[in-house]
């Protein structure tokens, strides 16, 4: 009997119970060049990386409780690349001694049939957007500077409209739970981007309404 294709392989890796430490901010379009310039100076010496991604956010609501959310993302600039499925836990922002927002985070790569699978499972797409921008790294730190765009006609990523006159700036680190020292590194890095960008831990639940 043939062994079934192992589609759940990523789970067996060491990526379980990783936490994402996150700081967020934004930069106006006209100051983008200055920020990129500074990031090129601060970050690891590598080829500048740009991306254009399409993110679809799927919801599943049971009889009670909060809906269960999964994020599916795929690259528009590299259509052959695998899809990326991401689960994000409830953010913890209360702890004052921590300088960053912390949430459970799970990343799995997936095949191109991911949207169909999710639909079959009962997930429904809640919203989608296109993000394009730049990625920088410094050691474990990752800085993503991206422009968010609405998708005007569902599924048609050609027809988009930008969401605001600013770029979203996110500084994140993936680390095993309890490694709060990384938030110190993040804070010192964020200090170096001031006054161009103020990276803060922002409680997203306050933006819900």
Partner 1 sequence: MLIKKQREEKQLEASVDLLISRVAHLKNALHNFIYKLENEFERLAWPSVLDNFALVSGQLNTINKLLRNEKTPSFRNQVIIPLELSPDRDDELAKLTEQRVPVFSHEIVPDHLRTKPDPEVEEMEKQLSAEAARLGPEAAQKQIQTLNKLCSNLLEKLNNPREDRDPESSAIRQSKPSFNPADTLALVGAVAFGKGLSKCRPPGPGAPGQGPMMGGGPTLQQVTIGGASGQPGIVVLFFSLLTGKMPSSIKTNIKSASGSMHPYNR
* Binding region for partner 1 (CB under 8 A): 8, 11, 16-17, 24-28, 30-31, 34-35, 57, 59-69, 87, 104, 106, 108, 116, 119-129, 148, 150-155, 161, 163-166, 168, 195-198, 200, 202, 204, 207-209
Nearest distance from residue 185's CB to partner 1, in Å? 22
The smaller minimum CB distance to partner 1, of residues 60 and 180, is found at 60
Residue closer to partner 1 by CB (options 65, 79) is 65
CB of 165 to partner 1, least distance (A): 7
Tell me if 169 sits within 8 A of 194, measured CB to CB: no
57 vs 113: CA distance, rounded Å: 15
Helices (H) and strands (E) in the chain, counts: 3, 9
Residues 6+ apart with CB under 8 A from 177: 17, 18, 19
Beta bridge partners of 57: 71, 127
Closest to partner 1 by CB, 48 or 122: 122
Minimum Å gap between C-beta 199 and partner 1 is 9
Instruction: Characterize 70-87 residue by residue with b for buried, 16 or more Cβ atoms within 10 angstroms of its Cβ, and e for exposed.
Output: bebbbeeeeeeeebbbbe
Tell the smallest beta-carbon distance from residue 3 to partner 1 (Å): 17
Q: Euclidean distance between the first and final Cα of the chain, in Å?
A: 54
- Residue 46 or 105: the one with the smaller Cβ distance to partner 1 is 105
């Amino acid at each position: 009997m043939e062994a079934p294709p192992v589609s759940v392989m990523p789970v067996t890796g060491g990526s379980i119970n990783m936490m994402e430490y996150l700081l967020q901010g934004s930069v106006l379009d006209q100051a983008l060049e200055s920020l990129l310039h500074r990031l090129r100076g601060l970050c690891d010496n590598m080829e500048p990386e740009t991306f254009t991604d399409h993110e679809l956010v799927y919801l599943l609501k049971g009889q009670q409780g909060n809906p269960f959310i999964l994020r599916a993302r795929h690259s528009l600039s590299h259509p052959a690349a695998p899809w990326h499925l991401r689960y994000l836990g409830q953010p913890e922002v209360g702890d004052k001694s921590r300088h960053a927002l912390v949430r459970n985070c799970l990343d799995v790569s997936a095949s191109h049939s991911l949207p169909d699978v999710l639909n079959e499972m009962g997930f429904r797409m809640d919203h989608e957007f296109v993000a394009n921008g730049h990625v920088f790294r410094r050691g474990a730190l990752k800085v993503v500077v991206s422009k968010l765009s609405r998708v005007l006609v569902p599924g048609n990523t050609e027809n988009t409209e930008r969401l605001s006159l600013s770029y979203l700036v996110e500084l994140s680190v993936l680390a095993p739970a309890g490694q709060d020292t990384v938030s110190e590194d993040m804070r010192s890095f964020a200090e170096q981007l001031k006054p161009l960008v103020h990276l803060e831990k922002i409680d997203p639940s306050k933006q819900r309404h």
